[in-house]
Amino acid sequence: MGREGEVIAKLLPQFQRLHPDIEVRVQQLPWNTAHQKLLTAFAGGATPDLCQLGNSWIPEFAALEALEPLETSVAGSSVVQSADYFPGIWQTNVVEGRLYGVPWYVDTRLLFYRRDLLAQAGFSSPPRTWNEWRQMLAAIKARVGPDRYSVLLPLNEFEPLLVLALQQPEPLLRDGGRFGNFESSGFHRALEFYTEAFTNGWAPPVENTQVPNAWEELGRGYYSFYISGPWSIGEFKRRLPPEQQASWMTAPMPGPDGPGASLAGGSSLVMFRRSHHKPEAWLLLEFLSSPATQRRFYALTGDLPPRRSTWEAPELADNVYARAFREQLEQVKPAPRVPQLERIVTEMRLVAERVVHGDLSIDQGTIELDRTVDAVLAKRRWMLAREAPR
Amino acid sequence: MRAGLAGWAFAAPALLIIGVFFFVPVLGAFAVSLTDFDLYALADLHNLRFVGLGNYLELLHSRDFWRALGNTCYFVIAGVPLSIAASLGAALLINSRLTRLPALFRTVFFAPVVATLVAVALVWRYLLHTRYGLINWALGGLGLHPIDWLGDPHWALPAIILFAVWKNFGYNMIIFVAALQSIPADLYEAAHLDGANGWQTFRRVTLPLLRPTMLLVGVLTVAGYFQLFAEPYVMTEGGPLQSTTSVLYLMYEQGFKWWNLGLASAIAFLLFLIMLAVTALELRFSRQRESA
């Protein structure tokens, strides 16, 4: 899918040399239609043998019983060793105790920040806790005045709030994903901190469409902190002028009381249950998962590898911008693994937007959110209740 | 009898196509709207439940649906008159004997209709940008405060209306130009001889003769504007605060983002009923005026 779909053509010749008897046909999908195309393919019985799947989609396709469980294949494999993978990322592939995918590359969110602006505000290192972060946000805002801000939290992106919420000890859903748990004190804290950033004027109340070039805006000092993913490393390198290159850096997410968790994102490789070529598909999956192939894949795409051994390669170990990601990846948590995840985080974002605009108080927001999410999960509860006697 | 049979035979291919590609899917969609067809049902039809009018009742109790309907009505009530006025105004200008190069203006005014929506939406997003946009720059020149067009829930829909009117007025303009050209010149001459000024001529000659065209344009535009979807989809994604979520956008989200196909079909039917009622009212209103 997307860029990965183009790049895989460069990795395949080597696989063909190793296995000349296996013919691989690649079907590229653009990201924004991939989900719908795969569901249509499932409905039409035309699913592929092996597929890249965003790991937040895995529970959905697992619920469709479209995916082949992989525990036995992994157990017998000398290449795919689960202990070598970052545990939070590996977990995203486990739904109701069964393994449905092998991580291909990882994606998590952390801080991109302006070292020089932080230094001017009197701070020599990035924040490790929310309180340190609060002080920095306030100090920067005091310096830059009403037209500039401290942090960008686009109101139409759910990820920043989801990261803050995942840092809490309480899970987002309770009773095995049957009900929302947004009235918990943990989510309350996360939403409070998020809202505070807007009411104190630390974050501009905008959507990302109003900040079409978030990287250059950080360069201009419109804000000093930006929560983003690995692709932004390349964007900053390309878009900021050479004299500004020393001014930006990455840092792991600060947490409520110390280094915080972040979201375990990325893509996995999955096999479809209806495939007639499972052994061959598994061979290709193993090939793509080997540290050597992953190094080439990183060189071609900049996508971060999910295995610790791949990270020992000098191009990653010595990359100053990637270092914070290496640290963060040991502390990533999967989002709730239910098929309705995307809907739930969208509802969460919408409620947060209303709270930020002052339409709802934080308490009203969490109550409203639990009510909506409980309704979204109604069919899931019915399904689980029906499965129980079996 | 033989003639009747021949008539049916001639109509049969068209009827067959309409039946297979319109009535059967519509009936299918209605059947789906009575169920809770969703992702689980896609996996296994045993997970499908018949819910009767449950989806419809759920919608009538849902804040999101009323909000979307409110947004859509706002868009129709503000957008349709504005759009028709712009079309008529442009048509009158083009049709005026004082205008030079009418063909050029006709092309220029029609250009937005054929331009790719996504491309022009991108341009408009830059025009409407709070800090760098041309529109706020012009407002600043007039001494007005910048408006956060697409970020402020009060201004986002007006911005969408402005964009939609600009995008669509050329189409109706062409229809009006054709209608204006079919008005016999001797009527204007007679009015002129009777001493009517420009406004009186417009009120007493042009407008009455345009009435059938006006009805056609009105019905088409109302039906088109009720189906607001692409503009918010590319400009605002329904935001901010769902202030640009239209009924059709809600249906798209429920159907193709969350795969609640049962609920999405119910939304489609409700919208269909609303549009049917509004169109019937329009026709009735115009017939009353004709007989009056």
Asked if residue A251 and residue A157 are part of one domain, the reply reads yes
CA closest to B46 among chain A residues: A383
Instruction: Tell me whether residues A354 and B241 touch, CB distance under 8 A.
Output: yes
State the pLDDT confidence band at A242, using cuts at 50, 70 and 90: very high
A188: nearest Cα among A149, A220, A161: A161
Going through A119-247 in order, the beta strands assigned E by DSSP cover: 151-152, 173-174, 179-180, 225-228
Asked if residue A271 and residue A257 are part of one domain, the reply reads no
| d(C-alpha B173, C-alpha B87), whole Å | 4
Chain A residues in contact with B151 by the CB 8 A cut-off are 205-207, 210
Q: Which of B36, B37, B39, B127 to mutate to test the interface with A (most CBs of A within 10 A)?
A: B39
Asked if residue A195 and residue A220 are part of one domain, the reply reads yes
Model pLDDT, residue B9: 92
A26: nearest Cα among A288, A296, A307, A306: A288
Query: Residue A206 domain-assigned?
Result: yes
* Residue A84 pLDDT exceeds 80: yes
Instruction: Tell me whether residues A205 and B241 touch, CB distance under 8 A.
Output: no
ipTM topping 0.90: no
Q: What is the mean pLDDT of residues A24-34?
A: 88
C-alpha distances in Å from residue A193, one per residue of A88, A117, A199, A223, A253: 24, 22, 10, 18, 14
Query: What is the phi/psi pair of residue A312, to 5°?
Result: -75, -15
Asked if residue A380 and residue A246 are part of one domain, the reply reads yes
pTM for the model? 0.89
Q: How many CB atoms lie within 10 A of CB A178?
A: 15
| 8-state DSSP, A257 | T
Instruction: Tell me whether residues B40 and A63 touch, CB distance under 8 A.
Output: yes
Q: In B, what residues contact A, Cβ < 8 A?
A: 36, 38-40, 42-44, 47, 125, 129-130, 148, 150-151, 153, 235-237, 239-242, 256-259
Closest partner CB to B242 (pick from A210, A342, A350): A350
- Which residues does B176 contact at the CB level (< 8 Å), separation at least 6? B87, B88, B90, B91, B92, B210, B213, B217
Query: What is the phi/psi pair of residue B76, to 5°?
Result: -70, -45
Q: What is the mean pLDDT of residues A214-226?
A: 94
Asked if residue A131 and residue A28 are part of one domain, the reply reads no
Asked if residue A200 and residue A72 are part of one domain, the reply reads no
Chain A residues in contact with B156 by the CB 8 A cut-off are none
- Whether a cis peptide bond, with omega within 30° of 0, leads into B158 is no
Q: Which of A39, A158, A209 to mutate to test the interface with B (most CBs of B within 10 A)?
A: A209
Instruction: Tell me whether residues B151 and A206 touch, CB distance under 8 A.
Output: yes
Q: At what angle do helices A362-376 and A185-199 cross, to 10 degrees?
A: 130
Instruction: Tell me whether residues A65 and B257 touch, CB distance under 8 A.
Output: no
- Give the distance, in angstroms, between the CA of residue B88 and the centroid of all CA atoms in the same chain: 16
* Residue B101 pLDDT exceeds 70: yes
| d(C-alpha A175, C-alpha B181), whole Å | 71
Using DSSP bridges, classify how beta strands A179-180 and A265-271 pair: parallel, antiparallel or unpaired. Answer: unpaired
Q: What is the mean pLDDT of residues B2-25?
A: 91
Asked if residue A306 and residue A355 are part of one domain, the reply reads no
Residue type (1 letter), A110: L
| 8-state DSSP, A297 | H
CA closest to A380 among chain B residues: B40
Answer for the pair B50, B35: CB distance below 8 angstroms, yes or no.
yes
B241: tokens are: 């605060």
Asked if residue A274 and residue A213 are part of one domain, the reply reads no
DSSP for B17-66, please give it. Answer: HHIIIIIHHHHHHHHHHTBT--HHHHH-GGG--B-TTHHHHHHHT-HHHH
H/E segment holding residue B201? helix B198-201
| d(C-alpha A254, C-alpha A364), whole Å | 27
Model pLDDT, residue B292: 59
State the pLDDT confidence band at A36, using cuts at 50, 70 and 90: confident
Model pLDDT, residue A389: 64
* Residue A390 pLDDT exceeds 60: no
Instruction: Tell me whether residues B39 and A43 touch, CB distance under 8 A.
Output: no
Query: What is the phi/psi pair of residue A129, to 5°?
Result: -125, 165
Query: Residue A329 domain-assigned?
Result: no
Closest partner CB to B39 (pick from A60, A354, A359): A60
Instruction: Tell me whether residues A353 and B42 touch, CB distance under 8 A.
Output: no
Residue type (1 letter), B138: A
Q: Where are the domains of chain B?
A: 63-291
Going through chain A in order, the beta strands assigned E by DSSP cover: 50-54, 94-95, 98-99, 102-107, 110-114, 151-152, 173-174, 179-180, 225-228, 248-251, 254-255, 258-259, 262-263, 265-271, 332-333
pLDDT per residue as tens digits for the range B251-272: 999 998 888 999 999 999 999 9
- Give the distance, in angstroms, between the CA of residue B272 and the centroid of all CA atoms in the same chain: 13
Fold held by B63-291: MetI-like fold (1.10.3720)
A272: nearest Cα among A94, A78, A39: A39
Residue type (1 letter), B191: A
Asked if residue A212 and residue A96 are part of one domain, the reply reads no
* Residue A367 pLDDT exceeds 60: yes
Q: What is the mean pLDDT of residues A225-253?
A: 94
CA angle centred on B163, ends B167 and B166, rounded to 5°: 40
| 8-state DSSP, A82 | G
Closest partner CB to A36 (pick from B40, B240, B256): B256
Model pLDDT, residue A143: 94
Model pLDDT, residue A163: 97
B85: nearest Cα among B225, B197, B209, B218: B218
**Least confident stretch, A6-15, A110-119, A172-181:** A6-15
Q: Which domain covers residue A135, as residue numbers?
A: 110-262+346-384
Query: Residue A304 domain-assigned?
Result: yes
CA closest to A45 among chain B residues: B43
Query: Residue A212 domain-assigned?
Result: yes
Highest mean pLDDT: which range of A36-50, A360-374, B131-145:
A360-374
Asked if residue A195 and residue A238 are part of one domain, the reply reads yes
User: Could you write out the three-class secondary structure of A204-239?
Assistant: CCCCHHHCCCHHHHHHHCCCCEEEECCHHHHHHHHH
| 8-state DSSP, A179 | E
Using DSSP bridges, classify how beta strands A94-95 and A98-99 pair: parallel, antiparallel or unpaired. Answer: antiparallel
Answer for the pair A233, A302: CB distance below 8 angstroms, yes or no.
yes
Strand partners, A228: A110
Query: Residue A333 domain-assigned?
Result: no
Answer for the pair A369, A90: CB distance below 8 angstroms, yes or no.
no
Asked if residue A256 and residue A122 are part of one domain, the reply reads yes
Chain B residues in contact with A63 by the CB 8 A cut-off are 39-40, 43
pLDDT per residue as tens digits for the range B116-154: 999 999 899 889 988 888 999 999 999 888 888 888 899
Asked if residue A359 and residue A211 are part of one domain, the reply reads yes
CATH code where residue A153 lies: 3.40.190.10
| d(C-alpha B255, C-alpha B145), whole Å | 40
Chain B residues in contact with A383 by the CB 8 A cut-off are 40, 47
Q: Which residue has the tokens 């008159």?
A: B81
Is residue A249 classed as helix, strand or coil in its secondary structure? strand
Rg (CA), chain A: 22
C-alpha distances in Å from residue A377, one per residue of A172, A173, A185, B151: 13, 10, 21, 31
- In angstroms, what separates the C-alpha of B25 from chain A's closest C-alpha? 18
CA closest to A66 among chain B residues: B43
Instruction: Tell me whether residues A207 and B129 touch, CB distance under 8 A.
Output: no
Instruction: Tell me whether residues B42 and A155 touch, CB distance under 8 A.
Output: no
A292: nearest Cα among A282, A303, A305, A301: A305
Q: How many CB atoms lie within 10 A of CB A307?
A: 21
Chain A residues in contact with B244 by the CB 8 A cut-off are none
Closest partner CB to A155 (pick from B36, B240, B256): B240
- Chains A–B, number of C-beta pairs less than 8 Å apart: 62
Domain count along chain A: 2
Query: Residue A16 domain-assigned?
Result: yes
Is residue A75 classed as helix, strand or coil in its secondary structure? helix
A206: tokens are: 């905008």
Instruction: Tell me whether residues A209 and B125 touch, CB distance under 8 A.
Output: yes
Query: Residue A331 domain-assigned?
Result: no
Q: How many CB atoms lie within 10 A of CB A277?
A: 16
Instruction: Tell me whether residues B151 and A43 touch, CB distance under 8 A.
Output: no
Answer for the pair B149, B139: CB distance below 8 angstroms, yes or no.
no
pLDDT per residue as tens digits for the range B150-192: 888 999 999 999 999 999 999 999 999 999 999 998 999 999 8
